[in-house]
Structure 1
Amino acid sequence: MNAHPQHDDPDNDDETVGTLLSRRTALRLLGLGGAGLAVGGGVLAQGTLAQRRGSPPGGAGGTGASGAASLPGCVVRPAMTEGPYFVEEELRRSDIRRDTTTGQVSAGVPLTLTFVTSRVAVGACQPRAGVLIDVWQCDALGVYSGVQGGGGDFLRGSQVTDARGRATFTTVYPGWYPGRAVHIHFKLRPLNAGGQATGEFTSQLFFPEEVTDRVHARAPYSRKGRRNVLNAEDGIYRNGGNQLLLSLTGSPEQGYKATFDVGLNIG
C-alpha cells in the first residue's frame, strides 16, 4: 500500500476521502466545532479516521503523550504506509510473542497494547465490536518473521474486537532496523455478519524517545547498538507520527502498557 499524499496546511482538512471521516467532520459530530482544529499539530494525511485520545500521559514510570492529548473525545489521525512486511497470517491470538513453528518466545521488555474501537456519532464515540485488528512488528534485533528470507510467525497476530470494542495484544517493545524509527504496524478491518472485511485502515504506532533509550540500553536490544533514525528523522513519522505517539505506563523492569482508542467510521 502506498502512503497517502499529505496536506501542507493542517487546517485544510475538510475533505472526506472515501468513507473515512475528515478531521473537521469528526470534530463537528462531537460538538467541538472549529475550536479544536488548530490543536494537536502535525501534518494530516488525506486518508484519515477519527480517533479517541489514548491513555493519559505520565503514571508510574510512564512518559509521552500523543500529539493531540489535550483534545477531548475524538480527533483525526493519519493513515500510513503498510510497508513491505505485512503477511496475511489469519493468526488469531492475543499473545503474539511465540513463534508457532518453533515454539520460541521473542525476548524483550513486555508490552501490553490495548486497542479500543468506536464509531463516531453525534456527541460521542460508541464502542464498535467486530473489527479485525492485525498487528505486526520487528523483534528486539530489528527482524520481522516470515519475510527478509526468514520464516516463522513471531510478533504477528490478529484479534476481533469484543462488545466493548476492545482487543489487547501482549508483545515486546520493538527494536529497530536501518532507516526507520521504532514503530509497530496495525491494520483495522470492520467485518460483516459473514466475517468479510468491509473496509480497511492501516497505520503505525510510535514510541517516546526517552522510553526507547531506556529500553534499548538493556539486553537483548543493546546487542544491536544505538538506533540510527529517531522519530524526528523518520520520513513516515514526520507525516503525522506525533499523532500516533503512544502514551506508556510502566518501566523497563516491569514492562509497559498503552491504550490506543480509535473511532472508526468505515465499513
Structure 2
Amino acid sequence: MSNHSTAPDRPGEHEEPEPHDLGLSHDLPTLLNRRHAIGLLTAGGLVAALAACSPTTGTGDGAATGAPTGGPGGGSPNDTSQADVGAGEIPEETNGPYPADGTNGPNILTTTGVVRSDITTSFGDSSGTAEGVPLTFSLTVVDVSGDGDAGTPVAGAAVYAWHCDRDGRYSMYDIADQNYLRGVQEADADGKVTFTSIFPACYPGRWPHIHFEVYPSLADATSATNRMRTSQLALPQAVSEAVYATAGYEQSVANLQDVTLDSDMVFSDGYALQMAKTSGSVDQGYTATLRVPV
C-alpha cells in the first residue's frame, strides 16, 4: 500500500466554500464519541501501517501502479468482473478538473454534512436532487502489500466519491449552486463503503466513470494532501447503453458511440482492475461493485 497524490488536468477559477462553515473537522468529535473512538483506534493502526509503506510516484495522467495492462486485450468493455485477485494495486489516476477536494477550486471535504451514503441530493446551504436511473455503488478497500492474494480489508479508511449528473455536468463547477453527487464514507470492518446515487452520463471524450479518493481515515479526509490513492471506476458498455436509452440521457448515446475504453484518456492503458461488476435493470436500478486494492 503506497501513498500517491494527483493534480487536476486543467486549471479553473471556482467559488470557495462558505467561510462560516465549520466543516468535517468540527463534526469529527461528535462522530467519534458516538462510536466510542473505535473508528479512531482502527484508523490509528492504519496510519502506522502507512508509515511503514514506501511511497511510489504516480503520474496523475492515468498511469498504472503495479496493475496489469488491462486495456487493449485486457478485457471486454461489457465484462462486469474484475481481474483476478492478487493482480496488483488499482491504478493511480488523475482526479480531473472537477474534484472539489481543494486542489482545483472549492473543497467540499471541509463542508459539514459531506459524510453521507446518499449523494443524490445537495446538502448544507444547497438544495436540489440529481435525476437519473438509480445506481448504488460499493467500493471495498483492501491492502495488498502483505502476504496473501486476497489482501486485508482496510477498516476505518475513508472514501470520497464523485461523478457527473445525467447531463454530464459536475456540481460545484458546471452547477455552482449544487453539491450533489459527492460524498464521503468510512469503510466498515470489511473495508466496504456504499453510496446511493444515479447513473452518470457519458460526456464527450470520456468513458462512463466515477471518481474516488481513498484516505487513511475519516480524520484525514479533509485535505487532498492526505489521500493515499486516487482512481476511477469504469462502467460496462452494455449497462451504459441500456441506461442511455432512457429519457434524460439522450446526449450520452452519441457520446458513448464516439469513445472506447482503448481511446479513453484514463482507461486506455488498462482497466482490468477498474471495471465494475454490475447487476440490475433500468426499472429496478443498478448495483455496481469494485474491489480497490491499495
Following the alignment from structure 1 to structure 2, what is the Cα–Cα distance between the partners of residues 20 and 171? 33
Following TM superposition, by how much is the alpha carbon of 1:222 offset from its aligned partner in structure 2, in angstroms?
Answer: 2.0
For normalisation by structure 2, the TM-score amounts to 0.65
> CA 1:165–1:179 in structure 2 vs 1: closer, same or farther (change >3 Å)?
same
Structure number with the higher helix fraction is 2
How far residue 244 of structure 1 moved from its aligned partner, in angstroms, is: 0.8
For 2:179, the equivalent position in structure 1 comes to 153
> Normalising by structure 1, what TM-score?
0.71
Alignment deviations for residues 178-197 of structure 1 (CA, whole Å, 9 cap, x no partner): 221111101001128xx236
Determine if contact 1:136/1:156 at 8 Å carries over to the other structure: yes
% identical aligned pairs? 34
Aligned CA RMSD, in angstroms, stands at 3.0
Could you tell me which amino acid in structure 2 is paired with residue 262 of structure 1? V
Alignment of 1:1-267 (within 5 A): 1-2=6-7, 18-19=54-55, 45-48=63-66, 64-66=79-81, 68=83, 71-73=84-86, 75-88=88-101, 89-90=108-109, 91-100=114-123, 101-120=125-144, 121-123=146-148, 124-148=150-174, 150-191=176-217, 195-196=219-220, 199-222=227-250, 225-227=253-255, 228-264=258-294
Residue 239 of structure 2: SS of its match in structure 1?
helix
1:10 alignment partner in structure 2: none
**1:3–1:224: structure 2 CA closer, same or farther, 3 Å change rule?**
closer
Cα separation, 2, equivalents of 1:83 and 1:179? 13
Q: C-alpha separation between the residues in 1 aligned to 2:93 and 2:8?
A: 6
| Residue correspondences, number | 216
Contact 1:64 1:248 in 2 (8 A): no
Residues 1:224 and 1:119: Cα distance change in structure 2 (over 3 Å): closer
C-alpha distance 80-48 of structure 1, shift in aligned 2 (>3 A): farther
Q: 1:149 to 1:258 in 2, by over 3 A?
A: closer
Runs (5+) with no aligned partner, structure 1: 5-16, 22-43, 51-62
Q: Which runs of 4+ in 1 moved over 4 A?
A: none
Query: Which AA in structure 2 matches 1:245?
Result: M
Cα distance in 1 between the residues matched to 2:81 and 2:8? 21
Task: Specify whether residues 122 and 155 from structure 1 end up closer, same or farther in structure 2 by C-alpha distance, changes over 3 A only.
Answer: same
Secondary structure of the residue aligned to 1:111 is strand
Higher strand share: 1
Secondary structure at the aligned position of 1:214 is classed as helix
